[in-house]
Structure 1
Amino acid sequence: MHGRSVSLVTVTYNSAATLQHFWHDWPADVCEWIVVDNASTDGSADMARSMGARVVQLDANVGFSAANNRGVEEAGGDVLGFLNPDIAPTREGIARLATRVTASSALVAPQLTNQDGSLQENGRGAPYPWRKLAHMFAPASKTNSRYVRHVDSGLERVVWVMGAAVFMSRDVFDAIGGWDEGYFIYYEDSDICLRALRVGVPTYVDGEVRWVHGWARETAKGGSLSIWKHEVRSGLRFYRHHFSCVMPLGSQARAMRSIERPQKGLWA
């Protein structure tokens, strides 16, 4: 691949049907697609190969972060897009997001939508612990309304974005150390955006790129108890690394407060 090449990395775990539904029309002429399969038993790897992906088939489920990093090792692109199996990327959107991340050192996400076209709130504000609790238990509260956000148009800076879809340059990926493999699943997206923020790399949602996100849940074996354990473990790791008691550390706190005063239009 030459010039401003793009590599898409997707982590699968028993995702064969999801891939077939969302990736049947992926634009193979403008990017490469690398699928890292976390020891699926439903033929996910074979499905991805049949659709034109380059597949890295792992012997065990190593988690989302480690699998993403493994995909980057195989990637040839200058621009890296991390996309879940339940994302439907478009040719125009890939080109626009690639231009965004190469024009400035930033993490950029599309505005995600439901299949009916309604907007998902994949942009997020400062992840204070009480906001996380409000998001889980009081989604209609004012606290949660300040935490979750969508972008109707243009480009808006946020503190972090959901890891279902995010683009960055390889240089930025290397500078922030990639995905933290201490997170098997959950909080890895908050973590990578906050680590980027610490070194001066902003995060944006581009409201002009709208991609369908199916909200498929393909995680670890063991049911809801196993998933809950992963979330608690990841949450403890995240707040230990980024917060002192319940408040963010120094300059990071000031940066997050500044971001939460919406600043549209940098590239709009």
Structure 2
Amino acid sequence: MGTDGDVALITVTYNSARALAEFWEGKPFGPYPWIVVDNASSDDSARVARELGARVLDLPSNQGFSAANNIGAATVDADVLIFCNPDVTVTEDGIAALADGARRYGGIVAPQLVNANGTPQENGRGTPFLTRKLKHLFRLPDERYQRFARPGELVDVVWAMGAALAITRRDFQALAGWDDGFFVYYEDADLGVRAWQQGLSVRVDGDVRWLHGWGRETGRGFSASAWKLELAGAWRFYRKHPYCLLPVGRRAEQLHRIDSAGAMIGVGA
């Protein structure tokens, strides 16, 4: 594995002071540099992040999740970037494992996110065909869309939730980073689909299990502003990837094959 300076954590905040205080207490990132990009929060996010040990970049306006992540990535020279939300608790050994996996396998490597009671979250996802998104909206199970990695498994997924994922700088640059055209929502699905299109894998490492609060606004009752952003993200995504709207053609077939792929056993091998 590389040295600590070869890995950097990047967190985007927007009115996230409470989440930072809860999930980052005790400096779980250890010796690794942690960069917080604050999207012009109206609360104490920047102050709390600094007190917790982050280097904070204060943006003059809310530029969105994708743009802020790109800004954070541009300020560090680490060879592995780990993007992680303010409501995720990282671990030192998990950081090292994800960085090692990104170097070893290439592409995107995500931890298996878990709830407070230890149950896994479906942060690994299959192809976001519109029919699957609708099923997920109504909380209908879909084994090909909701993917989990058990300990000892490295599971191929079409995309991983942007709440936590690792990628080498080389691969991040090959993908031209996050698409700034997504303000929030669907940017992680876009990143995963583009990775596979360029021959890069997306995987969930079942041996790295990080606590995630998961505070998605559209899952907590009706919010007009949140749903407006969700629909804007969906509009951009399906315009870029129409084969996810109508699953026909070579690219849709490629994603179908990934959906059908089994887990890779023995991540430590």
TM-score after normalising by structure 2: 0.92
Equivalent residue number for residue 140 of structure 1: 140
Counterparts of residues 206-225 of structure 1 (less than 5 Å): 206-217=205-216, 224-225=223-224
Q: Deviations over 1:164-218 (max 9, x none)?
A: 0011000010000100010001000000011111100010000111000001247
Separation in 1 of the partners of 2:217 and 2:120?
22
The change in CA–CA distance for 1:112 and 1:182 in structure 2 (over 3 A counts) is: same
Unpaired runs of 5+ residues, structure 1, are none
Partner of residue 151 from structure 1, selected from 135, 149, 152:
149
* CA deviation after TM superposition for structure 1 residue 248, in Å: 4.5
Separation in 2 of the partners of 1:11 and 1:116?
25
- Contact kept? 1:242, 1:248, Cα under 8 Å: no
- Contact kept? 1:243, 1:249, Cα under 8 Å: no
Q: Deviations over 1:41-89 (max 9, x none)?
A: 1110011111111100011111100000010111221100000000000
* CA deviation after TM superposition for structure 1 residue 262, in Å: 3.0
Separation in 1 of the partners of 2:23 and 2:4?
28
- Contact kept? 1:6, 1:30, Cα under 8 Å: no
Equivalent residue number for residue 50 of structure 2: 49
The change in CA–CA distance for 1:100 and 1:237 in structure 2 (over 3 A counts) is: same
Q: Which moved more, 1:208-217 or 1:33-42?
A: 208-217
SS in 2 for 1:145: coil
* CA deviation after TM superposition for structure 1 residue 267, in Å: 5.2
* CA deviation after TM superposition for structure 1 residue 257, in Å: 1.5
Unpaired runs of 5+ residues, structure 2, are none
SS in 1 for 2:182: coil
- Contact kept? 1:26, 1:90, Cα under 8 Å: no
Separation in 1 of the partners of 2:3 and 2:42?
36
Separation in 2 of the partners of 1:58 and 1:218?
22
Q: Which moved more, 1:145-154 or 1:201-210?
A: 145-154
* CA deviation after TM superposition for structure 1 residue 2, in Å: 5.7
- Contact kept? 1:197, 1:252, Cα under 8 Å: no
SS in 2 for 1:9: strand
- Contact kept? 1:15, 1:218, Cα under 8 Å: no
Separation in 2 of the partners of 1:187 and 1:231?
8
Equivalent residue number for residue 205 of structure 1: 204
Pair 1:131 & 2:132 matched: yes
* CA deviation after TM superposition for structure 1 residue 265, in Å: 2.2
RMSD value, Cα: 2.0
The change in CA–CA distance for 1:134 and 1:4 in structure 2 (over 3 A counts) is: same
SS in 2 for 1:260: helix
**Aligned residue pairs: how many?**
262
Q: Deviations over 1:200-247 (max 9, x none)?
A: 00100001110000012479xxx8111111111110110010114822
SS in 1 for 2:263: coil
Equivalent residue number for residue 242 of structure 2: 243
Task: Report % sequence identity.
Answer: 48
TM-score after normalising by structure 1: 0.92
* CA deviation after TM superposition for structure 1 residue 255, in Å: 1.8
The change in CA–CA distance for 1:134 and 1:218 in structure 2 (over 3 A counts) is: closer
- Contact kept? 2:144, 2:260, Cα under 8 Å: no
- Contact kept? 2:243, 2:251, Cα under 8 Å: no
- Contact kept? 1:110, 1:205, Cα under 8 Å: yes
- Contact kept? 1:82, 1:166, Cα under 8 Å: yes
Equivalent residue number for residue 253 of structure 1: 252
- Contact kept? 1:123, 1:160, Cα under 8 Å: yes
